[in-house]
Structure 1
Amino acid sequence: MNPQIQMSPLILLMLIISRPSHGYPEIPADDLTNENITDDFISLFDIDNENLTIIELLEAISLNITNVSSAMPLLTEMFLELVRPNTWTWILIFCHCVVFFVGLVGNCLVCVAVYRNHSMRTVTNYFIVNLAVADFLVILFCLPPSVIWDVTMTWWFGTGLCKIVLYLQSMSVTVSVLTLTFISLDRWYAICYPLKFKSTTGKAKTAILIIWIIAMVCEIPEPISLSAVPLISNGSVNVIYFTQCKPEWSVDVDMIFITVKMVFFFLIPLLFMIVAYSQIVRVLWKSGEMPHQAMNPGGRMNMTGGQLNTFAMNTNTSTEGQLKSRKKAAKMLVVVVGMFAICIFPVNLLAVLRAANMLFHSDLNQILSLMSHWLCYANSAINPIIYNFMSGKFRKEFRRAFETCCQRESKRHHYYSGGTFYHKDSGFASRSQSKSDNEKHKLSTFRDRENMKLIRKNTRTTVVQVDI
Structure 2
Amino acid sequence: MKELLGIIFQMIVLMTLWLISVIGNSLVLTVVFRSKRLQSTTNYFVVSLALTDMVMTIFCMPFIGTRIVSQQWIIKEALCKWTRFVEYVVPSVTAFILIAISTDRFYTIIYPLTFKITRGIAKRLILLSWLFAVLLSCPSFFTTYTHTDSEKNETFCSICSAEPGGRSFILGLFLMTYVFPGIMVVSIYCKVVSYIWTVGGGARTFQRTSNTIPRAKVKTVKMLIFVTIVHFFSWLPLFFVQITRAFDEDACVVKTSMYVGTVLLAYAPSASNVAIYSYYNSNFRRGCKEVFCMSTIRCQRGETYAITKASRLRKSNSVIPLSSSSVETDVTNSSYIRFDRTANGDCNIAWPLTSTGSNNTYV
- The answer to whether the Cα contact below 8 Å between 1:111 and 1:129 also exists between their aligned partners in 2 is yes
Q: Which residue number in structure 1 is paired with residue 305 of structure 2?
A: none
1:438 to 1:394, Cα distance in 2 relative to 1, 3 A: farther
- The answer to whether the Cα contact below 8 Å between 1:350 and 1:359 also exists between their aligned partners in 2 is no
Q: Which residue number in structure 1 is paired with residue 280 of structure 2?
A: 390
Shift of 1:149: 1.1
Q: Distance in 2 between matches of 1:444 and 1:136?
A: 51
Q: Which residue number in structure 1 is paired with residue 115 of structure 2?
A: 197
Q: Which of 144, 157, 175 matches 1:245?
A: 157
Shift of 1:92: 1.1
Q: Which residue number in structure 2 is paired with residue 280 of structure 1?
A: 192
Which secondary structure state, in structure 2, belongs to the residue aligned with residue 403 of structure 1? coil
Q: Whose radius of gyration is greater, 1 or 2?
A: 1
Shift of 1:390: 1.6
Q: Which of 173, 178, 182 matches 1:261?
A: 173
- Where does the alignment leave 5 or more consecutive residues of structure 1 unmatched? 1-20, 27-84, 234-238, 290-315, 406-432, 458-468
Per-residue CA shift, 1:57-92, capped at 9, x if unaligned?
A: xxxxxxxxxxxxxxxxxxxxxxxxxxxx42222111
Shift of 1:153: 2.7
Q: Distance in 2 between matches of 1:438 and 1:321?
A: 46
Q: Distance in 2 between matches of 1:359 and 1:398?
A: 50
- Find out whether 1:114 has 2:4 as its counterpart: no
1:194 to 1:404, Cα distance in 2 relative to 1, 3 A: same
Q: Which residue number in structure 2 is paired with residue 208 of structure 1?
A: 126
| Aligned residue runs from structure 1 range 342-361, under 5 A | 342-357=233-248
- Find out whether 1:401 has 2:291 as its counterpart: yes
Q: Which residue number in structure 2 is paired with residue 141 of structure 1?
A: 59
Tell me which stretches of 4 or more aligned residues in structure 1 moved more than 4 Å.
229-233, 316-322, 358-363, 437-449
- The answer to whether the Cα contact below 8 Å between 2:161 and 2:252 also exists between their aligned partners in 1 is no
Which secondary structure state, in structure 1, belongs to the residue aligned with residue 11 of structure 2? helix
Q: Which residue number in structure 2 is paired with residue 156 of structure 1?
A: 74
Look up the equivalent residue of 2:136 and give its one-letter code: C
Which secondary structure state, in structure 1, belongs to the residue aligned with residue 157 of structure 2? strand
Q: Distance in 1 between matches of 2:121 and 2:210?
A: 26
- The answer to whether the Cα contact below 8 Å between 1:284 and 1:323 also exists between their aligned partners in 2 is no
Q: Distance in 2 between matches of 1:201 and 1:232?
A: 55
Which secondary structure state, in structure 2, belongs to the residue aligned with residue 243 of structure 1? strand
Which secondary structure state, in structure 2, belongs to the residue aligned with residue 138 of structure 1? helix
- Where does the alignment leave 5 or more consecutive residues of structure 2 unmatched? 202-206, 296-320, 351-363
Shift of 1:288: 4.1
Q: Which residue number in structure 2 is paired with residue 436 of structure 1?
A: 324
Look up the equivalent residue of 1:168 and give its one-letter code: V
Look up the equivalent residue of 1:278 and give its one-letter code: C
Q: Distance in 2 between matches of 1:138 and 1:399?
A: 27
Look up the equivalent residue of 2:273 and give its one-letter code: N
Shift of 1:152: 1.8
| Aligned residue runs from structure 1 range 175-194, under 5 A | 175-194=93-112
Q: Which of 341, 354, 359 matches 1:451?
A: 341
Shift of 1:196: 2.3
| Aligned residue runs from structure 1 range 333-372, under 5 A | 333-357=224-248, 366-372=256-262
Q: Distance in 1 between matches of 2:124 and 2:20?
A: 29
- Find out whether 1:174 has 2:92 as its counterpart: yes
Q: Which of 271, 275, 278 matches 1:381?
A: 271
Shift of 1:108: 0.8
Q: Distance in 2 between matches of 1:157 and 1:119?
A: 45
Q: Distance in 1 between matches of 2:81 and 2:326?
A: 58
Task: State the TM-score, normalizing by the size of structure 1.
Answer: 0.60
Shift of 1:226: 3.0
- The answer to whether the Cα contact below 8 Å between 2:149 and 2:253 also exists between their aligned partners in 1 is no
- Find out whether 1:217 has 2:135 as its counterpart: yes
Shift of 1:256: 1.4
CA RMSD of aligned residues (A): 3.5
Per-residue CA shift, 1:182-216, capped at 9, x if unaligned?
A: 10111112212223212211110111111111111
Shift of 1:230: 4.5
Moved more, 270-279 or 443-452: 443-452
- The answer to whether the Cα contact below 8 Å between 1:353 and 1:359 also exists between their aligned partners in 2 is no
- The answer to whether the Cα contact below 8 Å between 2:52 and 2:94 also exists between their aligned partners in 1 is yes
Shift of 1:451: 3.0
Q: Which residue number in structure 1 is paired with residue 301 of structure 2?
A: none
- The answer to whether the Cα contact below 8 Å between 1:127 and 1:183 also exists between their aligned partners in 2 is yes
Shift of 1:151: 3.5
Shift of 1:218: 1.3
* Count of residues paired in the alignment: 314
- The answer to whether the Cα contact below 8 Å between 1:123 and 1:200 also exists between their aligned partners in 2 is yes
Shift of 1:375: 0.6
Shift of 1:360: 6.1
- The answer to whether the Cα contact below 8 Å between 2:161 and 2:249 also exists between their aligned partners in 1 is no
Q: Distance in 2 between matches of 1:361 and 1:219?
A: 20
Which secondary structure state, in structure 2, belongs to the residue aligned with residue 90 of structure 1? helix
Percent identity over the alignment? 24
1:94 to 1:222, Cα distance in 2 relative to 1, 3 A: same
Shift of 1:117: 1.2
Look up the equivalent residue of 2:264 and give its one-letter code: W
Shift of 1:217: 1.3
Q: Distance in 1 between matches of 2:326 and 2:145?
A: 65
Task: State the TM-score, normalizing by the size of structure 2.
Answer: 0.76
Q: Which residue number in structure 2 is paired with residue 464 of structure 1?
A: none
